[in-house]
Amino acid sequence: MGPSIDQAAFPPAGSVTIVCNNIVFKTGFLRALRPDILVVYDDDLLGLRSWTARFRRALADTMAQFEDLILVTPVAYVPFLEDLLPETQHRRLLGIPFTMERRVDGDLSKEYWLNSTNNVLTTLMLPLARLFASGGGAINLMGCDGRPWDADALDWAHAGGTENQSRRDWERQANLVFLPYDQREVMLHYLWLDRQVAALEQSGIPVRSLTPSHIPCLASRFHHG
């Protein structure tokens, strides 16, 4: 979730709204947006570091505050999340299994599995969006900023008020050294996303970005307002 989310216009009325990961820290934004689905997919978020404990508390608070919110995650995360959340919320927790196949055109209405791409947008959000947009709908993306294709851009930028950005800011202030993202990994993500978006549009589902993006296939589909 990139910084552009803070300037985003809300999606059209009647949309099924899917949010992810560190959005749980932006409670004011969530109250205004009233999302339908929260997806969680990031091994770091469920790890043992102090900042991940804050994420888990925020996740539990979000699920308690929004009583109709559905939490969707890879099936391997389900036991951990069942321990985190009260039993009364387990009916709102949905786990989807991974497959070893590599297909950009997976359709959850026909095959109940996910491609693990190590990215929450391509692994979970777009397959779920396809499910709801089939039959005449469209997919509108917000906050998918990507990162500049610049050797000085060591990491993805995150929206203000999220734990990821606070953690990165602290690391920089403390002069800690962390490895930049592998440019090849970033390129592979962009290529996979490009193919996935093309497959969606070939199936009759328009895709557009409501916020600016450094990702080429989303930058070319940016529509303001």
Both tokens of residue 35? Answer: 């999302």
**Residue 225 belongs to a domain:** no
**Residue 110 belongs to a domain:** yes
How many CB atoms neighbour CB 133 within 10 A? 21
**Residue 200 belongs to a domain:** yes
**Res 114: pLDDT:** 94
Q: Concatenated DSSP letters for 108-141? A: TTT---EE--S-HIIIIIHHHHHHHHTTT--EEE
Q: Which residues constitute the domain of residue 119?
A: 3-219
**Residue 123 belongs to a domain:** yes
pLDDT along the chain (225 residues), means of 10: 80 91 93 96 79 90 98 96 96 95 88 92 97 94 84 51 55 51 80 96 96 94 80
What is the total count of domains within the chain? 1
Under DSSP, is residue 117 helix (H, G, I), strand (E, B) or coil? coil
